[in-house]
Amino acid sequence: MAEIPGFGTCTLDERLGWLVGDTRLEVPGLGVVGTVVIDDPEADLTEVAAVLRRLTGLPPQFRATLTPFLWAYYSDVAAEWRASDPLHRPEDVWSQVEIGDELHVVRHGDDWYVDIESSCDWEPEHGLQVVLRDGDTLTKIGPYDGHHRHLGTDEVYPDAGRADGPSARPGWWRRLRRAGAPRRR
């Protein structure tokens, strides 16, 4: 058992080799209560605590910053399968999203990421991946592929800001699927 300063204890999951938080963590900015999972059992838990402080400090209105990227993802998929009962307003995507309750804390290079595997009704096979660098900077929204950034771009969701809309051309994520991108865990 080890201590995450200010966030309680965590225990090594022998089967997976991860540290798992023993208490649930409320994240108002995402509207979720989740369990912390740290992929590296040798991680500096003081650094992890700093990431968790930023994550839990996100205000409830932070969730609204995700809406345009969720809408772009939804629009891309809906254009492909021609939804029979399509959503008409970006804020409506939240009725089809469930933010996951496992908050995976992962270090890559100098950056820490909180990777949250979630689900959405419009893409049940690949689901939804939400990634925050250092616990408070959105770096990725899209289908779950295990990466903490979109390959080949630094955009949160490629083409979300296009003037002609994200569904004006085939989605980049379909190319990942055809290329054999990993399925959700």
Complete DSSP assignment for 116-144: EEEEETT-TTT-EEEEEETTTEEEEEES-
- Return per-residue pLDDT of the chain as tens, 185 residues: 899 999 999 999 999 999 999 999 999 999 999 999 999 999 999 999 999 999 999 999 999 999 999 999 998 888 777 767 789 999 999 999 999 999 999 998 889 999 999 999 988 888 999 999 999 998 888 888 877 765 555 566 665 544 333 333 334 344 333 334 444 33
Distance CA 169, CA 49 (A): 42
Please give the pLDDT value at position 157: 67
**What is the pLDDT, as a whole number, of residue 156?**
66
| Model pLDDT, residue 155 | 62
Q: Which residues does residue 36 pair with via DSSP β-bridges, in sequence order?
A: 103
Q: Which residues of 64-94 are buried (b: 16+ CB within 10 A; e: fewer)?
A: eebbbbbbbbbbbbbbeeeeeeebeebeebb
pLDDT of residue 41: 93
CA distance 143 to 128: 5
Domain boundaries, the chain: 1-185
Q: Full-prediction pTM beyond 0.85? A: no
The pLDDT value recorded for residue 152 is 52
Cβ atoms of 116 and 30 closer than 8 Å: yes
Cα separation, 128 vs 6, whole angstroms: 29
Tokens of 78: 């809906």
Between CA 85 and CA 98 the distance in angstroms is 19
pLDDT at 166: 38
